[in-house]
Structure 1
Amino acid sequence: MKLTWLGHACFLAEQDGYRILLDPYTGVEGYPALAEQKLQVHKILCSHGHFDHNAVDQAELVPFDGPCPFTIRTVETFHDGEGGALRGPNTIHILSADGAAVAHLGDLGHPLSPEQVEAIGPLDAVLIPVGGTYTVDAAGAKAVCEALHPKCAVPMHYRHAPYGLPNVAGVEDFLSLWPVGAVRRLEGPVCEVDGGASGVLVPQFLQEA
Structure 2
Amino acid sequence: MEISWLGHSCFQLRGKNVNLITDPFTPQQESAEPPATLSKINASIITISHNHPGHNYVQGVGGNPRVVRGPGEYEINEVLITGVASYHDDEHGKSHGRNTIYVIHMDDLVICHLGDLGHALKEEQLEAVADADVLLVPISGGKSVTATQAAEIISQVEPHVVIPMHYHPTPDEQRPAQLDKFFREMGVEAIEPQPKFTVTKNSLPATMQVVLLTPR
TM-score range, shorter chain: 0.7 to 0.9
Structure-1 residue corresponding to 2:70? none
2:170 is equivalent to residue 161 of structure 1: yes
**Structure 1, unaligned stretches of length 5 or more?**
none
Greater Cα shift, 195-204 or 124-133: 195-204
Q: What RMSD in Å do the two structures reach over aligned CA positions?
A: 2.4
Q: Percent identity?
A: 31
Number of the residue aligned with 2:25: 25
For 1:185, what is the secondary structure of its paired residue? coil
Cα distance in 2, alignment partners of residues 49 and 116 from structure 1:
20
CA contact (8 A) 1:19 1:43 kept: yes
Whether 1:142 aligns to 2:151 is yes
Question: 1:201 pairs with 199, 211, 215, which one?
Answer: 211
Q: How far off is 1:63 after superposition?
A: 6.9
Q: 2:58 aligns with which of 51, 56, 59?
A: 56
Change (3 A) 1:89 1:63: closer
Aligned to 1:172: 180
How far residue 177 of structure 1 moved from its aligned partner, in angstroms, is 1.4
Structure 1: how far apart are the matches of 2:154 and 2:102?
Answer: 16
- Out of 191, 198, 201, the residue aligned to residue 192 of structure 1 is 198
Q: What's 1:132 paired with? A: 141
Q: Which amino acid aligns with 2:158?
A: H
8 A Cα contact 2:10 2:25, kept in partner: yes
CA distance in 2, matches of 1:193, 1:117: 23
TM-score by length of 1: 0.85
AA paired with 1:98? D
Pairs aligned (count): 196
What is the CA–CA distance in structure 1 between the aligned matches of 2:65 and 2:86, rounded to whole Å?
30
5+ residue gaps, structure 2, are 67-75
Change (3 A) 1:77 1:36: closer
Q: What one-letter code is carried by the residue in structure 2 that aligns with 1:15?
A: G
The answer as to whether partners of 1:16 and 1:69 remain within 8 angstroms in 2 is no
C-alpha distance in 2 between matches for 1:157 and 1:63: 23
1:48 and 1:90 in contact (8 A); partners too: yes
Please state how far the C-alpha of 1:192 moved relative to its aligned partner.
1.9
Structure 2 match to 1:46: 48
TM-score by length of 2: 0.82
TM-superposed CA distance for 1:54, in Å, is: 0.5
